[in-house]
Every structure is written in C-alpha cells, then in structure tokens.
Amino acid sequence: MNLLTKNASRERTTSGWLLLAATLLLAALATPFFARQVYVADDLGEFHLPVRDFYARQLAAGESFDWMPSLYGGFYLAGEGQLGGYHPWHWILYRILPLGAAFNIEVLSSYPLLFAGMYLLLRRLIGRRDAALVGATAFTFGGFALLHFIHPNAIAVVAHLPWLLWAMEIALDKTTGEAASGEPGGGVPSLALRATIALRASARPLAVVAIGLLTASQLLLGYPQYVWFSLLAEAGFMLYLVITRGVHIAQLANVALAIVAGILIGAVQWIPTWHLLSESVRQTASSEFANTGSLHPLNLVQLVAPYLFEKRVVGQNTHELGLYLGAVPLVLVVWLFTRRSEWGNFRPLVRALLVGVIVSLLLAAGEFGGLYRLQAWLPLVSRFRFPCRAIVLVQLCLAALAAVGAAMLFAQQESNETAGSHRSTRPLLILLLVSTAVALVGPLLWTDHVASPLLVWSGPALIAMGVLSVMLVERGSRGGVAILALFMAADLGAYGLSYSIVGRTADLHTYVAAIPRPPEFAGERVAAPDAPNRLRTGDRMLLAGIQRVDGYAGLEPAKQLDYAEPGVLAMAGVAWQLERAGDGAATPHEWKRIAPSAPRVRLVTQALPASELPRVGSLDWHAAVCAPEQQLPPSEPGTAVVVSDGPGVIEIEVTAPARQVLATTESFDSGWTAVAGGQRAPIVRVNGDFLGCAIEPGKHLVRLEFRPRARRVGGWLAMLGLGFLTVAVSLTAANSCRSRAAGGVTCVPN
C-alpha cells in the first residue's frame, strides 16, 4: 500500500469516527422525538408551541393566521415574526402533520442542516473531510447552538449561514478565469481543465440563486437580529475573498444584487415586523435596553471552566451568555497557534478568523466593548437587545480555527512526524494550569455564585482530557482519533443537552391537561400578568383554549391603560385573573373573579375627551374616549349583536338610532378595516387600547377585518425581489458564458 492510499484510508477512518460522534449527538437530541415527547423547555413551551398550535388550526381551517385573538386581547402574530408563518417549510409541516410531530421536526431539522452546511464550507476552505467534520461538530453542537435549542427560529437562521458562505465562495470563485489563461505554454486547455472550467462556471448562477433564496428564507423565519449577524459574517467573508483572492467587480455586484433580492423577497415578513415594532413597547426603547444582555468579560473563564458558576455564566440567562465551545476545539485552537510557522496556505484564513473572533467578542461585549453602539444609527437593528448573541459569530470563527488545527494535526499524524511535538506540549499544559488555577481561585473570589466542588473541578478534568486526546493523535496513537471524537461528543452533549433537553420534555396531552383553568371555565377572557407577586405563566395556557389580554412575546404591544386595575380588566372583557396566594415562587395560584365584564361589542353614545383616559376603568359602558375625537349626538344606545367572531374577522349586526361608535373588546391595531352596509367606515381607537368604528344611523352589517397595509407592501416588494434575483442570475450566467468561452468551452446561452 503506497503512502497516498494509506493516508486516504486513514482520513476515511478518522472521518468515520467523527461522523459517528456527530450522529450520536443528533440521536441524543432526537431521542424525545422518537419517545413521542415534545420539547417544552423555556420559550419552547411558553411561547413557540402555543402560537404554533393556533397556526396549525388556522391552516387546517384554511383561514388567516395573521391575527391571534387569544394573545394580548388580539395580537398581530405574523408581524411578531417568531412564528415564521410565511416560511414554506413551516407551512408544509403544520399543514400536513400533527402539532407535536410538526413542532419537533421544526426544532430538530436545523441541526443536520447546520452540520451539513458547515461541513461543506470547511471542506471547501480547508480541503480535508475529517477536519471539516471537527469544525462542523463544534459549531453545530457547541454551547451556542445547543443552549439556544429553546430559540428554534434563531438556530434555523444560523443554520443558513454556512450555506450562504459556501454559495458565496462558489459565486466569487476566480479560479475559472485564471485556469483559462494559465495553461502552460499558452496552448489550448486540456480536456480535464476545460471540464473544470465549465463545471465551475455553471455553478455560479446556481450559487447566486442560492444566495438570494437563502437570504429570503432567513428573513421569513422572523428573527431579524440573527439575520443581521449573518449579514455581518457575509460581509466579512466577502472582504476576506477580495483581499486574499481578488474578485471581479461584476461578481461582487451580482452577489450584492442577490442579497438585496433576498431582502426584498423577505419583506413579506420584515415589513409586518416593522409595522408591529412601531406599535410595540420596543419603539421607545433606550440605548440601555439595546445593551441589555452584554457579555461581561469575566465570562471568558467559561472557555476553561464551563461549570464554575451555578448558572454556568456571569449574568442571568445561561442560554444567552453561554460561551463554551468544548474542550477539544479549544485545545485544537491553542495547538494551532503553537504551529504558526507551519500555517502555510492556511495563514490568510487563520488571520481572518482571528480578526473575526476579536470583532465578534467586542460586539458581544455590548456596553463593555463599545462596538455594539454603532448600530444605534441603523433602523430596526437599533432595537435589538442582547448583544451577547454575537457569540454565534465568535463560535463560528473558533470552530473554523479548530478545523484548521485539526487539518494540520491529522496531516502531521499521517506523515508520522512527531519531532517538534514538544513545541505544542508546553502551551497545552499552560492551558491546563490556567483551568486548574481558575478552579482553585474561583471559589475564593465568587463565593456566592460558585457551583459545587465536583462541577468546579470538572473544568480542569475536561481540559486535561482534551489535551490528552490531542496529544494522542499528535503522537500517532492508534486509538487517539476515536478518543478525540467520542470525548468531544460526550463533552458537548453533556453541556448542551443537560440544559435544554434532559428532563424538559413532556407528553403533549399531559402537558396541556396540567394547565390551570378557572373554575367552571366557559371560554371567558383571563389575565395573568407577569408582575411582582403574580405567577409567570408565559403563553402555555393558550393551549387549553384560554384567551388572555396579556401575554408573552418578543414585540409586546404598547398599551395605554393600566391592566392592574380591575376596572380596566373588566373593560377588556376579562372575567378571571390569575394570582398567587403569596409571594413565594412555589406558592399555589388562585383564580379571582372579575365582574361584571364589558360585552364583546357595544354601542357608545358619549364620546369623551382624551383627558378622561386615566379614569376609563370607572366609566359606563356607553361612554368612551375616542381617537380621533368623535361628535356624537345625544341618543339612546342602539343594539349590537355578534354574527361571527374569528381570528382577524368580526361581523356584527348593528342598529343605531343616531351616529354612534361601535366598540369591541378586541385590541386596537392600525391594520384593521371596517365596512358597514357595504361602505367603508372609519376605524376608531376606543379607550386607548380597543378597536372600534364609527356607525351611521340605521341597521348595518358591520365587518371588521384585519388587513394590514404592511402585508400588501411586503408582497409587492417580494415580487420586486424576484425580479432582482432574475437579473442577478442572468448577469452571472452571462459572465459564466464568457468564462467558458475563454476556457475553450462552447457556450450555449440560456
């Protein structure tokens, strides 16, 4: 067996062990799915599952899912974004599968997608399958991805990122033209070279299409903050390609046009989100709010001491601040920097990734780094909080660095070169000493926040095992690769699965049955405010068919009334309020009856000035503050009877002796329209927070329908985006045609 064959066989063996490790992690992640459980940890059960239950029911009925009446007394759910209701993948899942199966598949599907994309990207950049598998495993199952399992939209957006970078590398590939002109002697290119030229040139238009559609797909998933991070990574990657390889301006322009096209196609989602933002509490958020969740520099100790603190992090949210990438990837990065003289062709990539780590850490540091404040001048982006979420970019760069380190490590093993391995031993031992020092000093410095001694000392143990596995591979140990792969999987799995999976799944029917309901519940509205001394419930109770006038969402709608007042709750049609019997977290909850509550619809005969808004909780049902102000003649209240009442469409039969205002208990949004007797009727904001419309004398059938202009504008922009993408692909195809012709390949225009 010659050396090349032997090395290829060894690479296949190494890849096999690493692929097995990744498969075991995916299997562990999916175990609850096969056990017919649903994932309910944190936001999964408190927000995502309830809104997807509504989404699935609306799809089954063939009705709009834009407006959700059971949340906040009526809420622009599609505009909030995290449902991702306009995404084709979500539509297919929840249209054809039961809720539990669709939900689990949605949550799980991002991980194999992320793994495959990261593998393809690193395989193209580094050239080795086994090293690409190391980086793909580190990024897919590292601290960020598994801790954020509870944020499925975030992971889904991130899963697109390596695919986008891979497509960009193909679209901006300059080797076609160089190959065409680089044949020795200036002769006609060989048949193999001509085939390579044709293949690469043909791939460019497909890559441009992929860039546009992947960008649109990210935006349709409804988590714009991670799309922003993705765009930053894409910009940095394009800059790297321009500096290191040189890229034609036409190619850059085509890629930029494809990104713009994707953004326009995604307007179906982000325009409604912008609309909801303008009517939410986020609209008036301060710069302090934007820096909420900054990554404190002390969190860097997580890299060598993942379990030092009780919550694993310095701060409140473990899943937001978790920085741990695993012991093996960290050791590989350190090992890589001990071999600086051997970087060779990897040098530009390593330098670029190192810059990426530094810039991303400054972004994640928020108020501690200063760089995050630059976004204050950007629309929409300035409303993002938790700058620590830029950890995703930190881990992307570190995973890629670990892959480069693995490539050099495996190459050294194949060459059987152990001379000079002492150069890497000392820095690795220093890394172990740092971890040990943190375990010794940490409990003395942070007494109130340190975990148990067993967890504290697990840090040095993990680093020691990481160092040992890398050193075994470096010295050519036969079982070294297997130890490295399986230990990396066990380390990452224990860290991530213990937080978001283990013990945090449930049978769907049991989960719903355990939801507290008011006594003798008959479908009335409830309030369960997340205020001090009250039970924080999230939106779980919506699964039991309960309608709330408050709730839990990323873009909470702004309200003008104080919903702590029983009179205001009654005005909103609330019949029950959920409270605690005491102040303790484990205190049992109790339901408090609120009566009488306002009828679903009524006619207002007395319009009050805006100055009366503070006392609306004590007003008669037939008097209200109206905006815009209404001139109503004195008259007896007419009658209003609900004919049909569904999500986003309410029909009422009204008989009014004079001009009056039809008031409802539905929350106000500027996207509502009204038609009375076949004629458009002006929408009125009643008592600050509720939907109404002006009614002329007579008998009318009034149809209130939620038809936001943002949805129509988003549709128009999406059509424009498809046109832009067509132009970008056509230009790329024309450039590819010229490249194939330059390479001596016959070109047949499309």
pLDDT in tens, 641-668: 999 999 999 999 999 999 999 999 999 9
Q: Is residue 100 part of a domain?
A: yes
Rg value, the chain, Cα: 30
Tell me how crowded residue 619 is: count the other CB atoms within 10 A of its CB. Answer: 18
Do residues 284 and 423 share a domain?
Answer: yes
Do residues 296 and 334 share a domain?
Answer: yes
Do residues 436 and 520 share a domain?
Answer: no
Q: Mean pLDDT of all residues in the chain? A: 87
- Residue 190: helix, strand or coil by DSSP? coil
Q: What DSSP designation does 96 have?
A: H
Do residues 422 and 530 share a domain?
Answer: no
Q: Is residue 738 part of a domain?
A: no
Query: Average pLDDT, stretch 215-239?
Result: 95
The rounded percent of the chain whose pLDDT value lies above 90 is 60
pLDDT band at 524 (very low <50, low <70, confident <90, very high): confident
Nearest to 87 by CA among 211, 216, 179, 221: 221
pLDDT at 401: 97
Show which of 576, 593, 610 is a domain's final residue.
593
pLDDT beyond 80 at 372: no
Q: Is residue 195 part of a domain?
A: no
Task: For residue 560, give both structure tokens.
Answer: 């003008």
Tell me how crowded residue 723 is: count the other CB atoms within 10 A of its CB. Answer: 11
pLDDT at 421: 57
Could you give the C-alpha distances from 166 to 354, 357, 494, 618, in angstroms and in order? 19, 19, 30, 62
Q: Is residue 209 part of a domain?
A: no
Q: Is residue 103 part of a domain?
A: yes
Query: Average pLDDT, stretch 550-564?
Result: 89
pLDDT at 565: 87
pLDDT at 533: 42
What whole-number distance in Å separates Cα of residue 452 and Cα of residue 634? 73
What whole-number distance in Å separates Cα of residue 314 and Cα of residue 308? 10
Do residues 576 and 652 share a domain?
Answer: no
Q: Is residue 271 part of a domain?
A: no
Q: Is residue 259 part of a domain?
A: no
Could you give the C-alpha distances from 578 to 7, 48, 529, 593, 594, in angstroms and in order? 67, 22, 8, 9, 11
Q: Is the separation of the CB atoms in 145 and 37 below 8 Å? A: no
Task: For residue 32, give both structure tokens.
Answer: 């609850």
Query: Average pLDDT, stretch 350-375?
Result: 89
Do residues 468 and 352 share a domain?
Answer: yes
pLDDT beyond 90 at 393: yes
Nearest to 554 by CA among 80, 119, 7: 80
Q: What's the CA angle centered on 349, arms 346 and 351, to 5 degrees?
A: 105
Q: What are phi and psi of 588, to 5 degrees?
A: -65, 150
pLDDT at 357: 96
What whole-number distance in Å separates Cα of residue 547 and Cα of residue 217? 31
The range of the structural domain enclosing residue 706 comes to 601-710
**Peptide bond preceding 50 in cis form (omega within 30 of 0):** no
What whole-number distance in Å separates Cα of residue 679 and Cα of residue 117? 54
pLDDT beyond 70 at 342: yes
Do residues 33 and 72 share a domain?
Answer: yes
pLDDT at 424: 65
Residue 307 CB partners (closer than 8 Å, separation 6+): 451, 455, 456, 458, 459
pLDDT at 378: 77
Nearest to 336 by CA among 290, 294, 273, 399: 399
Query: Average pLDDT, stretch 545-561?
Result: 90
What whole-number distance in Å separates Cα of residue 172 and Cα of residue 253? 10
Show which of 500, 534, 553 is a domain's final residue.
500
pLDDT band at 521 (very low <50, low <70, confident <90, very high): confident
Q: Is the separation of the CB atoms in 749 and 214 below 8 Å? A: no
Show which of 474, 500, 526 is a domain's final residue.
500
What whole-number distance in Å separates Cα of residue 570 and Cα of residue 578? 14
What whole-number distance in Å separates Cα of residue 605 and Cα of residue 585? 46
What whole-number distance in Å separates Cα of residue 230 and Cα of residue 117? 14
Which class for 643: exposed (0-12), middle (13-18), buried (19 or more C-beta within 10 A)? exposed
pLDDT at 617: 79
Total number of domains constituting the chain: 3
According to DSSP, the residues that pair with 505 across neighbouring strands are 39
Do residues 612 and 530 share a domain?
Answer: no
Q: Which stretches of 450-599 are DSSP H helices? A: 453-456, 458-474, 480-500, 508-513, 566-571
Task: For residue 98, give both structure tokens.
Answer: 């039961």
pLDDT beyond 50 at 183: no
The rounded percent of the chain whose pLDDT value lies above 70 is 89
Do residues 324 and 465 share a domain?
Answer: yes
pLDDT at 181: 40
pLDDT band at 298 (very low <50, low <70, confident <90, very high): very high
242-251, 284-293, 492-501, 551-560 — which is least confidently predicted? 284-293
More confidently predicted of 476 and 176? 476
Give per-residue pLDDT as tens, 402-419: 999 999 998 887 676 554
Residue 214 CB partners (closer than 8 Å, separation 6+): 160, 163, 164, 167, 262
Helix (H) or strand (E) holding 196: helix 191-220
pLDDT at 716: 94
pLDDT at 611: 85
**Peptide bond preceding 628 in cis form (omega within 30 of 0):** yes
What whole-number distance in Å separates Cα of residue 355 and Cα of residue 493? 29
Give per-residue pLDDT as tens, 72-114: 999 999 999 899 999 999 999 999 999 999 999 999 999 999 9
pLDDT band at 185 (very low <50, low <70, confident <90, very high): very low
Do residues 442 and 328 share a domain?
Answer: yes
Q: Give, to the nearest 10 degrees, the angle between helix 249-265 and helix 191-220.
A: 30
Q: Is the separation of the CB atoms in 125 and 404 below 8 Å? A: no
pLDDT beyond 80 at 599: yes
Nearest to 132 by CA among 144, 115, 156, 145: 115
Q: Is residue 163 part of a domain?
A: no
Give per-residue pLDDT as tens, 113-162: 999 999 999 999 998 999 999 999 999 999 999 999 999 999 999 999 99
Identity of the residue numbered 281: V
What secondary structure does DSSP assign to 677-696, as a single string? TTEEE-EEEETTTEEEEEE-
Do residues 359 and 308 share a domain?
Answer: yes
pLDDT beyond 80 at 588: no
Identity of the residue numbered 317: N
Do residues 437 and 575 share a domain?
Answer: no
Q: Is the separation of the CB atoms in 399 and 165 below 8 Å? A: no
**pTM score:** 0.91
